[in-house]
């Protein structure tokens, strides 16, 4: 457990927090003193995550939240405020990602709409509902979870477009919220070892070769970045997009490897 206590008595709501990056973030913030509402459409898994946090001696509750439904989002925000006395941090982690059709022209409207609604509009719904409470807390922060897909081509048309939209929403909302004392930032992960890659260890091993730091990310890598941006340590940071991607976007590893092969290295 970390010895930092940057979130003592803070109320935190995290979407899509039953597993993966969301669960790791819930644990990290709880370890630093936060009271965490673990929200997800899967209440059973959310409760298991919350229970594991309570075993650490921290406070956590589970609550159903479908970011695709305004009423569900508003109920989750209200529950966090009623339960913890304030809402100080919102982490927009929930998303939708549907595999692409083989041909772009065969993509159904429903798939496009669903991925954008859950990933981009869901973050909008949550931020809209939470913002007045974050303002009232006097130390409010929103941290979104983006993706390298929103900055470069890695496939998944709708998901990537939605994640790119989060980059823009982060900037515009940061500008709006700054005079009201709320900071808004975005973490952009590369490949992270989550349940989305379950049973694909060989693929992860191959992908890791593309990362300058020699490995894919772990959920805890992303949780640490979220904790920083949500904390007072980032008190003068807003509207930023922080890549936590093992150097993937900064270094063209494939090109470097091709040059070394050409040179016989």
Supply the residues annotated as catalytic.
Answer: 159, 163
C-alpha–C-alpha distance, residues 78 and 238, integer Å: 25
Pairing of strands 89-92, 59-64: unpaired
Q: Which residues of 220-239 are buried (b: 16+ CB within 10 A; e: fewer)?
A: ebbbbbbbbbbbeebeeebb
C-alpha–C-alpha distance, residues 143 and 187, integer Å: 7
| Secondary structure of 49-98 as H, E, C letters | HHHHHHCCCCEEEEEECCCCCHHHHHHHHHHHHHHHCCCCEEEECCCCCC
């Amino acid at each position: 457990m970390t010895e930092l206590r940057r979130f003592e008595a803070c109320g935190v709501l995290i979407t899509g927090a039953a597993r993966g990056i969301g669960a790791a973030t819930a644990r990290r913030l709880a370890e630093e003193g936060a009271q965490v509402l673990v929200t997800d459409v899967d209440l059973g898994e959310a409760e298991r995550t919350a229970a594991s946090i309570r075993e650490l001696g921290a406070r956590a509750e589970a609550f159903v939240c479908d970011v695709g439904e305004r009423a569900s989002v508003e109920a989750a925000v209200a529950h966090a405020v009623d339960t913890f006395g304030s809402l100080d941090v919102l982490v927009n982690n929930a998303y939708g990602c549907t595999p692409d059709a083989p041909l772009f022209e065969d993509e159904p409207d429903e798939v496009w709409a669903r991925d954008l609604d859950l990933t981009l509009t869901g973050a909008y719904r949550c931020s809209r509902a939470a913002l007045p409470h974050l303002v009232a807390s006097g130390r409010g922060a929103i941290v979104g979870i983006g993706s390298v897909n929103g900055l470069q081509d890695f496939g998944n048309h709708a998901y990537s477009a939605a994640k790119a939209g989060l980059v823009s929403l982060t900037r515009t909302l940061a500008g709006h919220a700054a005079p009201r004392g709320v900071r808004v930032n975005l973490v952009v992960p590369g490949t992270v070892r989550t349940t989305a890659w379950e049973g694909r260890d060989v693929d992860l091993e191959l992908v890791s070769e593309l990362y300058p730091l020699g490995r894919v990310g772990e959920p805890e890598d992303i949780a640490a970045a979220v904790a920083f941006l949500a904390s007072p340590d980032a008190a003068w940071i807003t509207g930023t997009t922080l890549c936590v991607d093992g150097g993937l976007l900064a270094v063209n590893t494939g090109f470097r490897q091709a040059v070394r092969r050409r040179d016989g290295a």
